[in-house]
Amino acid sequence: MSRALDIRLDVQERFQDVVGAARRAVEITVELSAMEIWGQVKEEAPVDQGRLAGSFVTQKQSPLQWRVFTDVHYALAVMEG
């Protein structure tokens, strides 16, 4: 007596799980990169009274876009010389 072997593999649902996990990993990486940049510019800002170093902030624009900025008008001149 012969038996047929029938193997089915449905990867669609698991594939979506992998895609979602990968997207979340990229979102976390982008956020951590923004925090690292924020920390670096605060650390590298020259300190006289500390206004410039204390003025840098981060702002989430979207899950994959963050902004690190300051509203101190002389920041670019000080940071780039």
CB atoms inside a 10 Å sphere around CB 50: 10
- pLDDT value at residue 3: 79
User: How wide is the angle at C-alpha 27 spanned by C-alphas 37 and 79, nearest 5°?
Assistant: 15
Q: How confident is the model at residue 7 (pLDDT cuts 50, 70, 90)?
A: confident
What pLDDT, on a 0 to 100 scale, did the predictor assign at position 78? 84
Q: Which two tokens stand for residue 9?
A: 């593999």
Neighbours of 56 (CB within 10 A): 20
What was the pLDDT predicted at 1?
62
Confidence of residue 6 (pLDDT cuts 50, 70, 90): confident
Cα distance between residue 74 and residue 18, in whole Å: 46
pLDDT in tens, 10-61: 777 788 888 999 999 999 999 999 999 999 999 988 888 888 999 999 999 9
